[in-house]
Amino acid sequence: AQSVTQLGSHVSVSEGALVLLRCNYSSSVPPYLFWYVQYPNQGLQLLLKYTTGATLVKGINGFEAEFKKSETSFHLTKPSAHMSDAAEYFCAVSDRGTYKYIFGTGTRLKVLA
């Protein structure tokens, strides 16, 4: 069965530093990949997604992620963290042609002043 692993349930970075949130999936067939952000007491907002084509995907708020098939990874990065980036981030996958999203357990990002 498909699974998603997010390394690090809590990540702290200084304001202005690089943000790197890790996501690995288990499928041998490349799935569709998503990153969502959840602010306190709010729903999930889609940051970016990979379905086909270019493996480097740019999303909202300056985030991007690179699909690496050989590493079965889809890590999320942002060159310079901002205080407003503090939130919980979820990686999700779905097998092509299906609607079931499989979510990772989330990474809570803290940005230090």
Partner 1 sequence: NAGVMQNPRHLVRRRGQEARLRCSPMKGHSHVYWYRQLPEEGLKFMVYLQKENIIDESGMPKERFSAEFPKEGPSILRIQQVVRGDSAAYFCASSQGTESSYEQYFGPGTRLTVT
Q: Pick the binder of partner 1 from 13, 21, 76, 102 (CB under 8 A).
A: 102
105 binding partner 1? (CB under 8 A):
yes
Q: Is 29 in the site for partner 1 (CB under 8 A)?
A: no
- Cα 91 from Cα 33, distance rounded (Å): 7
Residue whose structure tokens are 């306190």: 40
The only residue of 43, 59, 84, 86 in contact with partner 1, by rule CB under 8 A: 43
Q: Which of 2, 7, 27, 44 binds partner 1 (CB under 8 A)?
A: 44
**Using CB under 8 A, which of 7, 27, 77, 106 touches partner 1?**
106
Q: Does 28 bind partner 1 (CB under 8 A)?
A: no
User: How many CB atoms are closer than 10 A to CB 8?
Assistant: 12
- Check residue 58 for interaction with partner 1 (CB under 8 A): no
The C-alpha atoms of residue 64 and residue 33 are separated, in whole angstroms, by 12
Q: Is 21 in the site for partner 1 (CB under 8 A)?
A: no
Give every CB contact of residue 6 below 8 A, 6+ residues apart in sequence.
21, 22, 23, 89, 90, 91, 104, 105, 106, 107
